[in-house]
Amino acid sequence: MALWAQMTPKLQYLPTETLNELYPDTFPLDVRHYLAGWIEEQRWENFDVDNMEQEPQARRLLDQMVHLLQEVAQHNPNVVERVKLQHISRNLSVFQQQPMQLVRTVRDILRKESHLLAQVVCIKPFFSTNGTPQPAREDGKTDVDKLVLKVLEIQSCRQTLHQLQEDLNWEKQEMESIQGQNELDPQHSDQVTRQNRIQQLEYNYSVCAKKRMQLLQEAVCALELCQSCLILRIKSWRWEQYRATIGLHFDDNLGPLQTWCEQLLGVNSNLRQELMLVKRDHGGVEQFHTLQESLAHLLQTLIQNSLVVDKQPPQVIKTQSKFSTTVRYLLGEKMAPGKPVLLKAQIITEAQARQGVVPNENVGELINSTAILEHNTASKNTCATFRNMSIRKIKRADRKGSESVTEEKFALLFTTELTITGCESPYSIQVTISLPVVVIVHGSQEINAMATIIWDCAFSEPNRIPFIVPERVPWKQMCEALSSKFMSEVQTQQGLDRYNFHFLAQKTFDQPDISEDFSNMPVSWAQFNKEVLPGRNFTFWQWFEGVMDLTKKCLRDYWSEKLIFGFIGKQHLHVILQNKPNGTFLLRFSDSEIGGITIAYVGPSDNGGRKIQNIQPFTKKDLDSAGLGDRIRDINCITHVYPDLPKNEVFKKFFTGVLPQSTPPYMPEQMPGQGPLYTSPM
């Protein structure tokens, strides 16, 4: 059962088409699961599937399998599973007439599983648990090289057969010329020798022909597995492209994948050619149609999956505004010359995206929605670029409850029809869709629309049904997404720390007095961007996005050099400043105003003690008129940035000169409560 134990965790990352090929209808995944131990104990490799004398042994295995499956069904407490297993056990009767076919099926499944596990690097999760990319995966070159060698071996086998056939024809012709000699004739011994030679040639021919078919079967099986890894890599590339939305690493180089696609197309073409030569030499052998269908299916799958959206459209699109997107075909160099290949785009709803086919209903009107696939000989790329696309109008679905238009997800669907060199019929590609987009009609909707995209990108699963995403996620996942997005948006290597995360959790869950770990507490989409924060008129995301925008435009260097404490609550503020001398200050983002930063500092109280005071937040408008460094320089009551660094040393590089006369007064010469100060006693 060791093989199945290793295989089980990998199943969720395999494409559906791979699973369907691995576990056919005649031998469903359920049988492999429930009878895993027994299956792996049997000696399937000891069978010669062409030896009919082993049929009784194969039939006994079939009977045992049916019996065991019926026992499993009988003891299964789940009624649905029980009925399903009983139905499967009855369907296994299809092997009664050809029990050796069962042996071949199970043996092939075990071989494919072993090969997949050998390629385990190809089927690891796209990202680790903390959302960072896994180490780079193999590019498949080794597998392709092995496939090419296998094809060369098949071709060599064919040439050997041809030579054997010629030798056999010659010997038979010579044999005919000396037949009829009696035993006393001196040429009789020559006749016997030739007869023995003919028998040996016929035997060698038979062995070589059998080896040829075996090599073809092995090559097709290896091609299936190699192509499955390729398609998984393409899906992984798309997934990493999407995760770049929240700032995760993404290598957009499609060159290795294009080479891989082209190589597998070449292998498929060579195998189809070799298979046709087998038919010419030996007629329609038993496995011919099965291998022919497998290669045809692999070819269609490869052609379908080689169309990728290289440059995604904006994920928030305003109607009546121009945008662009680029679609690349990885088999572009293999397209048949002649008629230009036209790519069409249309906008589809989330429900239509789930159907996987071109919808009949048009939900939006796209302008400039066609482009020609053009090949660039210098870069060897074949792309269709939609340069001036625009959504003229959009038809929205009926909304449920409090659902907003900025929560509705669409996508662009790209379709085309093309012919590959060496293939007789054109292929229709109808399943390539873009990442989810939100369509807005006014700029004021952009921040809420982006919240929908961020939530979808951060918390969706690979290979999901479009565009399903959890309604709630653990807070620790939210922390990873917020820090990654913050670093990406601000263009800094300095992320959020545990103190920042704790304050953000207190703010999100409205629990300012809680000091416990929030890591596993579930946070909902509603808390993220539907419900306003307590005592405020804005949502968490609207506030957080305002902080990112301010930091990106005015405070990047301060943040990158760790001069801004950032997200900190009043309680934590009191703890770290309560024993500090007057004039100690720190920079924190305002939690009462969108896009503001304030200075919290220790100052004298009216009774001779000390108190923490907070200067009225500075917004982008304020900092555009006078930078934060100049403002800190000119506030005399703050002298040392927390913990105890002289401000004139730390912020000197940010001083630009004399404060402009037109700048409104902001220095705290005024008494607390009169203007820009608000205080809290220590």
What tens digit of pLDDT does each residue of 191-243 get? 788 888 889 988 998 899 889 988 999 999 999 989 998 999 999 999 999 99
The last residue of one of the domains, among 469, 498, 523, is: 469
Tokens describing residue 321? 């505004």
CA 181 centroid distance within chain: 76
Q: Is residue 631 part of a domain?
A: yes
Q: What is the mean pLDDT of residues 85-111?
A: 89
Domain around 48: 3-119
Q: How far is CA 158 from CA 163, 199, 282, 293, 498, in A?
A: 9, 20, 12, 21, 67
Q: Are residues 359 and 244 in the same domain?
A: no
* 13 pLDDT tier (thresholds 50, 70, 90): low
Same domain for 273 and 376? no
Close Cβ partners of 457 (under 8 Å, ≥ 6 residues apart): 242, 243, 245, 246
Residue 186 — pLDDT band, cuts 50, 70, 90? low
**Pairing mode, if any, of strands 364-367 and 427-433?**
unpaired
- Alpha-carbon distance of 114 to 108, in angstroms, equals 10
Examine the domain organization and report whether 9 and 102 are in the same domain.
yes
Q: Do 455 and 484 share a domain, yes or no?
A: no
If asked whether residues 462 and 526 sit together in one domain, one would say: no
Check pLDDT > 70 for residue 55. Answer: yes
The predicted structure's pLDDT at residue 227:
92
Among 397, 396, 390, residue whose Cα is nearest residue 412: 390
Residue 184 has pLDDT above 90, yes or no: no
Report the candidate in 423, 425, 432 with the shortest Cα–Cα distance to residue 305: 432
Burial 132-155 (b: 16+ CB within 10 A, else e): ebeeebebbeebbeebeebbeebb
Q: How far apart are CA 523 and CA 528, in angstroms?
A: 7
Peptide bond into 467 cis (omega under 30): yes
Same domain, 620 and 490: yes
H helices of 402-474, in order, are: 446-459
CA distance 314 to 602: 46
* Confidence label for 124 from pLDDT (cuts 50, 70 and 90): very low
For residue 623, pLDDT over 90 is answered with: yes
Give dist(CA 620, CA 468) in Å, integer.
Answer: 37
Residue of 484, 482, 456 whose CA lies nearest to 470: 456
Q: Is residue 129 part of a domain?
A: no
Tell me: do 451 and 521 sit in the same domain: no
Mean pLDDT in residue range 519-525: 94
Peptide bond into 617 cis (omega under 30): no
Distant-in-sequence, close-in-space partners of 169: CB < 8 Å, separation ≥ 6: none
Residues 6+ away with beta carbon under 8 Å from 4:
32, 33, 36, 37, 39, 40, 113
CATH code, domain with 293? 1.20.1050.20
Tokens at 232, concatenated: 């998984």
The number of CA neighbours under 13 Å toward the Cβ of 582 is 9
Residue 410 sits in a domain of what CATH number? 2.60.40.630
- What is the pTM assigned to this prediction? 0.75
Mean pLDDT value of segment 500-508:
93
Question: What share of the chain in percent tops pLDDT 90?
Answer: 55
Assigned domain for 669 exists: no
Q: Are residues 362 and 274 in the same domain?
A: no
Q: Report the domain count for the chain.
A: 4
Contact 26, 65 (CB under 8 A): no
pLDDT for the residue 618: 95
Q: Give the domain-ending residue among 279, 303, 327.
A: 303
The reply to whether 130 falls in a domain is: no
Residue 672: its pLDDT value, please?
34
- Average of pLDDT values for 59-84? 88
Whole-angstrom CA distances from 351 to 242, 317, 361, 397, 468 are: 20, 19, 12, 10, 10
- Asked if residue 682 is part of any domain, the answer here is no
Q: What is the pLDDT of residue 662?
A: 39
Q: What is the CA radius of gyration of the chain?
A: 35
**DSSP type of residue 90:** H
> 489 with 604, same domain?
yes
**Residue range 282-303: mean pLDDT, rounded:** 85
Among 268, 303, 338, the domain-final residue is 303
Closest CA to 448 of 404, 406, 478, 508: 406
**Residue 588 domain-assigned (yes or no):** yes
One domain for residues 553 and 588 = yes
The residue type found at 559 is W
- Is residue 593 within 8 A of residue 619, CB to CB? The reply is yes
Residue with tokens 């292929």: 427
Span of 126-135, 220-229, 376-385 with lowest mean pLDDT? 126-135
List the one residue out of 601, 599, 603, 602 whose CA is nearest residue 628.
599
In the chain the first and final C-alpha atoms are separated, in Å, by: 66
Q: Do 390 and 337 lie in a common domain?
A: yes
- For residue 129, pLDDT beyond 80: no
Two tokens at 140?
Answer: 């498949």
Identify whether the C-beta of residue 133 lies closer than 8 Å to the C-beta of residue 253: no
Are residues 283 and 426 located together in one domain of the fold?
Answer: no
| Least confident stretch, 267-276, 285-294, 548-557, 645-654 | 285-294
Report the candidate in 140, 396, 128 with the shortest Cα–Cα distance to residue 240.
128
**Mean pLDDT rounded to a whole number for the chain:** 86
Q: How far is it, in rounded angstroms, from Cα 74 to Cα 7?
A: 26
**Over the stretch 152-176, which tens digit does the pLDDT of each residue have?**
999 999 899 989 889 888 888 888 7
User: Is residue 203 situated within a structural domain?
Assistant: yes
Residue 179 is predicted with a pLDDT of 66
Q: Determine what percent of the chain is predicted with pLDDT higher than 70.
A: 90
Which of the four pLDDT bands, split at 50, 70 and 90, describes residue 648? very high
Yes or no: say if 353 and 467 are a contact pair by the CB < 8 Å rule. yes
Angle, helices 288-305 vs 188-243, to 10°: value is: 30
pLDDT for the residue numbered 671 = 32
Rama region for 368: left / alpha / beta (φ>0; ψ in -120 to 50; rest): left
pLDDT at 325 over 90: yes
Listed in sequence order, the DSSP H helices in 244-349 are 255-282, 288-305
Domain of residue 66, CATH code: 1.10.532.10
Give residue-wise pLDDT tens across range 346-374.
999 999 998 877 888 889 999 999 999 99
**Residue 433 bridge partners (DSSP):** 413
Residue 329 falls inside a structural domain: yes
Does residue 666 carry a pLDDT above 50? Answer: no
Q: Are 457 and 427 in contact (CB under 8 A)?
A: no
Residue 663 to residue 187: CA distance in whole angstroms: 122
Counting DSSP H helices and E strands in the chain, the numbers are 22, 19
Q: Which of 535 and 664 is assigned the larger pLDDT? A: 535
Mean pLDDT of 620-632: 94
